[in-house]
Amino acid sequence: MLIVMKQDATQADIDRVNEVIAELGFQSHPMPGAARVAIGITGNKGAVDRAHFENLSGVADAIRVTKPYKLISRTLSPDKSIIKVGDATIGGDELTMIAGPCAVETPEQVFEVAEVVSKSGARFFRGGAYKPRTSPYAFQGRGEDGLKLLAEVRDQFGLNIVTEAMDERGVDLVEKYGDCIQIGARNMQNFSLLKYVGKTRKPVLLKRGMSATLDEFLLAAEYIMAEGNHDVILCERGIRTFGNHARNTLDLSVIPAVQKMTHLPIIVDPSHATGKNYLVNPMAKASVAAGADGLMIEVHPCPEDALCDGAQALLPEQYIELTAQLRLMRELTIPVRETASI
Ligand code: PEP
Ligand code: MN
């Protein structure tokens, strides 16, 4: 159920609705919008009787939500969410660029890339300290030492840090050193981890699982939000298909589909989606044309020596050139800002 408050509802009216929700044994999720507050209700097993709310002061409407997702829905929050991450935002008019190496390797490598990313005007730096690798013998990441290097990047360059956590301990550490907790494709349906990050107050970048449908992707976001953390940024990173010319198949149609159904921002990672350097530039541009809120791009000063994902890394000069092209495109592109609700 969704309680829509009147425009002139007072804080006392909102508090009373929250109290009634608590008395019923459910959880309330107030979502302030530009014009009015909406309050989502979760925790109910069946339909909630509208009569509990209809006559309360300040209540405009009590709407039954029949879709499996509630908090991500545009019904609850018709305005697009702009998520604060560190000292910057994601989801506004500016195209978000999150760039950096696949993995934190050495201080020299990290600082060299950070300088390039900072010069390009990006506000976000990526780099994995915990790497989900297919082989247990492959480089697994520098762990907490890597996170410390990322924190130094923030101090030195003012870049906000987006980095992956693979388990609860990792979440605690990323909360301490980073600005945004990345949940990788392989953990998109790790429900206990989703609940755990839902209890933190750091924004979460949720990557689409490589075989996840749109519903599964959105319900994973719903898991995080249901725990109280509404600062979720979605990331399309390609899905598995029969195609074998690229590492994955970039599903660009998911961008307008997500924007139609949810108020959450969606960015695209063309690096993992393609796995190949020469495909990153055109797919990044296609993502902007399709209305993505931003991009996550892997950059390495010497891709042939990279400990992880060298084949898809852009060289610093390629990244700088791409950023300039994307900025021009962003100005020309009318972002897809569907206001349809479900
Ligand atoms: C990453 O961004 O470092 C990563 C491992 O991506 P994904 O989870 O999309 O494979
Ligand atoms: Mn990578």
Can you give the CATH number for the domain in which 325 is found? 3.20.20.70
Structural domain count of the chain: 2
Alpha helices in 51-190 (DSSP H): 51-54, 107-119, 144-157, 168-177
Rg (CA), the chain: 21
Q: Is residue 71 included in any domain, yes or no?
A: no
CATH for 19: 3.30.70.1140
> pTM surpassing 0.75?
yes
- pLDDT at site 256: 95
For 176, residues 6+ apart whose C-beta sits below 8 A from its C-beta are 147
Residue 331 predicted with pLDDT over 90: no
pLDDT digits (tens, 9 = 90+) for 66-88: 778 889 998 888 889 999 999 99
pLDDT in the model for residue 75: 80
Atom from ligand 1 closest to the CA of residue 185: 8
State the distance from the centre of ligand 2 to the C-alpha of 311, rounded, in angstroms.
10
Does the pLDDT value for residue 231 go beyond 50? Answer: yes
Q: Are residue 150 and residue 8 in the same domain, yes or no?
A: no
Please tell me whether residue 230 adopts helix, strand or coil conformation: coil
Q: What is the mean pLDDT of residues 306-334?
A: 94
Instruction: Please give the average per-residue pLDDT across 185-204, as a whole number.
Output: 98
Which atom of ligand 1 is the closest one to the Cα of 102?
3
| Amino acid 334: pLDDT | 59
- pLDDT at residue 230 is higher than 80: yes
Average pLDDT for residues 33-39, to the nearest whole number? 86
pLDDT in tens, 8-23: 999 999 999 999 999 9
Per the domain annotation, does 256 fall within a domain?
A: yes
121 and 179, same domain (yes or no): yes
Statement to judge: residues 264 and 301 lie in one domain: yes
Read off the pLDDT of each residue in 158-171 and give the average, rounded to a whole number.
98
Quick one: which atom of ligand 1 is closest to the CA of 235?
Answer: 9
For 15, the domain range is: 2-63
- One domain for residues 37 and 137: no
Dihedrals φ, ψ of 295, to 5°? -140, 145
* More confident site: 265 or 76: 265
Higher pLDDT pick, 334 / 94? 94
* Distance from the alpha carbon of residue 222 to the mean position of ligand 2, in angstroms: 25
Give the pLDDT score at 84. Answer: 98
Answer yes or no: is 74 within a domain: no
Q: Which of the listed residues 124, 205, 237 should we mutate to test ligand 1's pocket, taking the one with most ligand atoms within 8 A of CB?
A: 237
Q: Does 180 contact ligand 1 (Cβ within 6 A)?
A: no
Same domain, 142 and 49: no
Mean pLDDT of the chain: 94
**pLDDT at residue 29 in the model:** 92
Does ligand 1 have an atom closer than 6 angstroms to the CB of 78? no
Q: Is the CB of 74 inside a 6 Å radius of any atom of ligand 1?
A: no
Same domain, yes or no: 183 and 36: no
> CB-based burial of residue 133 (10 Å sphere; 0-12 exposed, 13-18 middle, 19+ buried)?
middle
pLDDT at 77: 84
Q: Are residues 212 and 300 in the same domain?
A: yes
Are both 104 and 41 inside the same structural domain?
no
Last residue of a domain, one of 10, 29, 63: 63
Residue 72 in any domain: the answer is no
Which ligand minimizes its atom distance to the CA of 166? Answer: 1
pLDDT at residue 337, rounded to an integer? 44
The residue to mutate among 207, 249, 307, having the most atoms of ligand 1 within 8 angstroms of its beta carbon, is 207
167 and 44: one domain?
no
95 and 159 assigned to the same domain: yes
